[in-house]
């Protein structure tokens, strides 16, 4: 690991000033569970680390507007799982957090860090660049790519988004707040994630000197669910996931959103309205939603299995959100 300067501000204002003064040469460290590994492998080499660990205002879960919740970006995964307000009002968020099985990751990893983690593509992690191209040719398409994108891969980005929490936050239409030396702005969770078009770009819409400070959940959504499908149980990332949010008028669905995870460079929203709106979410409706989720896939030569897994995850997420067994 290269030498670096370490800064430990006590407030968000101090942190953004430290980032502004160094800009591209600085990196934000929250729990450090991802960044330090990247630094040890020389994938990223910041000259200054600005730690958010001492900023108390970025921690905790509190009531928000319209019956919602505000989750500080430095809230740990353990703290998220311990919140009764999250478990009862947003079961899909708790289910997504439960997928982070490592006790160490739960204790040290933060909600903000989980959303901002870098891709797990082995090409990127071996220093071959975010897009893994050589002489204009995609190393991913030419090489082993079973765990890469089966949706949203028409451009040069072939990695999959690694966050477990991002799909359900997008499905809930959550917002995030972002701070910089220029002030605070608020954007939707969907706007936070972008597909990079060139190697030096990032996977989020944040500038290098901006800090993700909080996540704002709208009013309680008890009919929401997250389902992940893994190759094996244990400390591994899912092969596919689906987050579902349902709204009801009587026994029938009045609104439905499904967002896929781990199958595209961003959390990937699929249109399941025709399959679900005006219907009781029974097995047949859930199956139709799964087919709708699979219809827009563009798998690479060797990752077609991800489409089938996305179909199955969607079907199960719909039934779980409707509070039915699958």
How far is the C-alpha of 168 from the C-alpha of 70, rounded, in Å? 15
Instruction: Tell me which residue of 152, 192, 155 sits closest to 170, measured CA to CA.
Output: 192
Residues 96-145: pLDDT tens digits? 999 998 888 899 999 999 999 999 999 999 999 999 999 889 999 999 99
Domain ranges of the chain: 54-217, 224-321
What integer is the mean pLDDT of 258-272? 98
The more confident residue out of 9 and 231 is 9
What pLDDT was estimated at residue 135?
A: 87
The reply to whether CATH 3.40.50.10140 applies to domain 224-321 is no
Strands, sheet with 69-72, edge to edge from the N-terminal-most edge strand = 61-63, 69-72, 211-217, 175-180, 183-188
Share of the chain above pLDDT 90, in %: 80
Compute how many other C-beta atoms are within 10 angstroms of the C-beta atom of residue 186. 11
What pLDDT was estimated at residue 317?
A: 98
Residue indicated by tokens 């934000």: 28
What pLDDT was estimated at residue 3?
A: 86
Class of residue 2 by CB neighbours under 10 A (exposed 0-12, middle 13-18, buried 19+): exposed
What integer is the mean pLDDT of 77-103? 95
CA-CA distances (angstroms) from residue 62 to 31, 65, 218, 241, 266?
21, 10, 12, 28, 28
Instruction: Tell me which residue of 301, 265, 268 sits closest to 130, measured CA to CA.
Output: 265
Share of the chain above pLDDT 70, in %: 97
Strands, sheet with 48-51, edge to edge from the N-terminal-most edge strand = 5-7, 48-51, 26-29
Reported CATH class of domain 54-217: alpha beta
What pLDDT was estimated at residue 104?
A: 87
Question: Which residues, in sequence order, are CB contacts of 169 under 8 Å at separation 6+?
Answer: 93, 115, 189, 215, 217, 267
Quote the mean pLDDT of the chain: 93
The DSSP bridge pattern shows strands 211-217 and 183-188 to be unpaired
Q: Specify the DSSP class assigned to residue 13.
A: H
What pLDDT was estimated at residue 235?
A: 67
77-86, 211-220, 225-234, 299-308: the lowest-pLDDT one: 225-234
What pLDDT was estimated at residue 236?
A: 72
Indicate if the pLDDT at residue 231 is higher than 90.
Answer: no
What is the pTM (predicted TM-score) of this model? 0.94
What pLDDT was estimated at residue 326?
A: 64
Residues 150-182: pLDDT tens digits? 999 999 999 999 999 999 999 999 999 999 989
The DSSP bridge pattern shows strands 69-72 and 211-217 to be antiparallel
């Amino acid at each position: 690991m290269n030498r670096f300067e370490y800064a430990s501000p006590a407030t968000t204002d101090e942190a953004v000033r430290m980032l502004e003064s160094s800009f591209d040469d600085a990196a934000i460290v929250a729990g450090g569970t991802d960044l330090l590994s990247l630094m040890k492998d020389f994938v990223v080499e910041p000259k200054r680390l600005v730690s958010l660990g001492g900023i108390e205002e970025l921690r905790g879960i509190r009531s928000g507007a319209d019956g919602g919740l505000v989750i500080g970006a430095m809230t740990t995964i353990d703290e998220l799982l311990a919140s009764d307000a999250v478990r009862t009002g947003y079961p899909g968020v708790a289910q997504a957090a439960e997928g982070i099985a490592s006790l160490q990751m739960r204790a040290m990893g933060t909600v903000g860090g989980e959303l901002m983690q870098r891709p797990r593509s082995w090409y990127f992690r071996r220093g071959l660049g975010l897009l893994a191209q050589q002489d204009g040719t995609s190393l991913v398409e030419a090489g082993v790519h079973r765990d890469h994108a089966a949706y949203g891969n028409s451009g040069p980005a072939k990695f999959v988004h690694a966050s477990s929490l991002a799909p359900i936050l997008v499905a809930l239409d959550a917002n995030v707040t972002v701070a910089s030396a220029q002030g605070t702005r608020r954007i939707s969770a969907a706007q936070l994630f972008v597909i990079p078009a060139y190697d030096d770009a990032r996977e989020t819409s944040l500038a290098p000197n901006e800090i993700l400070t909080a996540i704002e959940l709208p009013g309680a959504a008890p009919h929401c669910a997250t389902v992940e499908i893994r190759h094996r149980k244990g400390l591994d990332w899912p092969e596919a996931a689906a987050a579902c949010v349902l709204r009801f008028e009587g026994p029938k669905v009045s609104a439905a959103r499904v967002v896929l995870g781990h199958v595209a460079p961003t959390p990937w929203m699929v249109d399941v309205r025709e399959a679900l709106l005006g219907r009781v979410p029974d097995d047949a409706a859930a199956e139709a939603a799964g087919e709708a989720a699979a219809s827009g896939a563009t798998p690479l030569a060797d990752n077609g299995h991800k489409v089938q897994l996305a179909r199955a995850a969607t079907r199960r997420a719909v039934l779980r959100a409707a509070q039915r067994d699958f």
